[in-house]
C-alpha cells in the first residue's frame, strides 16, 4: 500500500494539536523547493491553529472537528497556477500521509478572511488562496458528519469511465491500470472526479470534463500528481508539456505527460 492507497479525507482530528517534532517535519517538507508543471515556484506556509476557540485562525464552519493546522500559499487567479497549486499541495499531502498525518482539502468550507489574517507572507502582489489543506492527527472512530460525507463521497466512478487508449478503447495494459488506479482515487472537490485521461503510447493526455468552477483546475493538478507518483513507483519518468497534437475530444485539454524512460 502506498500513500495514495492510504490517503483519505480526514475531518475528525484529535483534540491534541500537532507536537513540535511533527511541526518541524512539516516545515522541513515546506522548505523544499516547490516547482509546478508550468515551472512556477510556490511557497507554502503552515498556519498553526490558535487554540483559543474565540480567536480561531482557521475557520471551517464546523466541517472539521478537533485541532488542526493548515497549509496554504498565495497564487494568481489563473488556470495553470491553480493546476500547479493542486499538484504541489497534493505532493505535500501524500508526504504527510507517509509520516502519519491526516489531511483534508478544503476548497469552499473555510473563511478566506481568517486565513489571510493569519498568513505571514507578503500579500502585495499575489492574488488569492484557492483552497487550504487541513492537517492534524486523525481521531480514531469517525464523526457522524464524516460518516455521512464519506458514505456518499468515498466512492469513485468506474475505471473505464475515466481512462482510454489513443484509439479511445479500454485500457488493457496492467501497469497502466495500476498507475491510473492511483488517479482514480485522487481527491476532488465534492468528489466530482472531473479528470479524464487518454494514454496514447508515450504520451498521456489529461482533460477536464467540466470547467464550471476554478476548483476543477485544482482537481486536475491533484490528479496529475497522483499519476506522476504512481508512474515513478513503476520506474516511469517524464515531463509535463502542453501538446498541440493532443487527441481532440469534447473535453478541455490541459496537459500531456511525455514518458521519457
Ligand atoms: C480541491 C478540493 C476541494 C475540496 N473541498 C472540500 C471542502 O470544502 N469540504 C470538504 O469537506 N471536503 C472537501 N474536499 C474533499 C473531497 O470532498 C474528497 O476528496 C472527496 O469527497 C473524496 O473523498 P476522499 O478524499 O476521502 O477520497 C475537497 C477536495 C479537493 C481536491
Q: What does the pLDDT read at residue 73?
A: 92
CA of 166 to the centre of ligand 1 (A): 30
Q: Which atom of ligand 1 is nearest to the CA of 154?
A: 23
- The DSSP bridge pattern shows strands 132-136 and 69-72 to be antiparallel
CA 197 vs. chain centroid, Å, equals 17
Q: Please list the rounded mean pLDDT of every run of 10 residues in the chain (261 residues).
A: 95 93 97 95 88 67 88 93 98 97 92 80 73 94 62 79 96 98 97 97 97 96 98 97 90 97 74
Q: What does the pLDDT read at residue 56?
A: 67
Q: What does the pLDDT read at residue 205?
A: 98
Q: Which atom of ligand 1 is nearest to the CA of 185?
A: 27
Ligand 1 environment, Cβ below 6 A: 8-9, 63, 104-109, 131, 153-154, 187-191, 215, 218-219, 222
- The DSSP bridge pattern shows strands 163-165 and 195-200 to be parallel
Query: Cα–Cα distance between 178 and 180 in angstroms, integer?
Result: 6
Query: Cα–Cα distance between 225 and 227 in angstroms, integer?
Result: 5
Domains observed in the chain: 3-146 (3.40.109.10), 159-259 (3.40.109.30)
Q: Is there a contact between 135 and 68 (Cβ–Cβ < 8 Å)?
A: yes
- The DSSP bridge pattern shows strands 203-208 and 195-200 to be antiparallel
Amino acid at each position: 500500500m502506498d500513500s495514495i492507497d492510504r490517503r483519505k479525507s480526514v475531518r475528525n482530528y484529535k483534540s491534541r494539536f500537532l507536537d513540535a517534532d511533527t511541526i518541524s517535519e512539516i516545515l522541513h517538507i515546506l522548505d523544499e523547493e516547490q516547482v509546478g508543471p508550468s515551472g512556477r515556484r510556490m511557497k507554502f506556509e503552515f498556519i498553526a491553529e490558535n487554540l483559543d476557540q474565540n480567536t480561531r485562525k482557521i475557520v471551517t464552519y464546523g466541517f472539521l472537528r478537533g485541532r488542526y493546522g493548515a497549509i496554504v500559499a498565495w497564487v494568481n487567479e489563473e488556470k495553470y497556477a491553480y493546476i500547479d497549486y493542486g499538484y504541489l499541495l497534493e505532493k505535500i499531502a501524500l508526504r504527510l500521509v507517509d509520516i502519519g498525518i491526516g489531511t483534508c482539502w478544503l476548497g469552499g468550507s473555510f473563511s478566506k478572511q481568517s486565513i489571510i489574517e493569519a498568513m505571514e507572507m507578503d500579500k502585495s502582489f499575489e492574488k488569492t488562496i484557492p483552497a487550504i489543506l487541513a492537517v492534524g492527527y486523525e481521531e480514531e472512530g469517525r464523526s457522524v458528519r464524516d460518516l455521512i460525507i464519506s458514505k456518499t463521497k468515498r466512492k469513485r466512478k468506474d475505471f473505464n469511465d475515466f481512462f482510454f487508449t489513443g484509439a479511445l478503447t479500454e485500457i488493457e495494459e496492467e501497469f497502466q491500470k495500476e498507475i491510473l488506479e492511483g488517479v482514480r482515487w485522487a481527491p476532488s472537490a465534492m468528489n466530482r472526479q472531473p479528470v479524464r485521461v487518454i494514454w496514447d503510447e508515450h504520451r498521456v493526455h489529461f482533460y477536464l470534463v467540466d470547467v464550471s468552477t476554478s476548483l476543477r483546475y485544482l482537481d486536475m493538478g491533484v490528479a496529475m500528481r497522483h499519476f506522476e507518483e504512481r508512474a515513478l513507483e513503476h520506474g516511469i519518468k517524464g515531463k509535463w508539456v502542453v501538446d498541440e497534437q493532443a487527441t481532440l475530444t469534447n473535453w478541455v485539454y490541459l496537459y500531456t505527460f511525455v514518458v521519457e524512460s
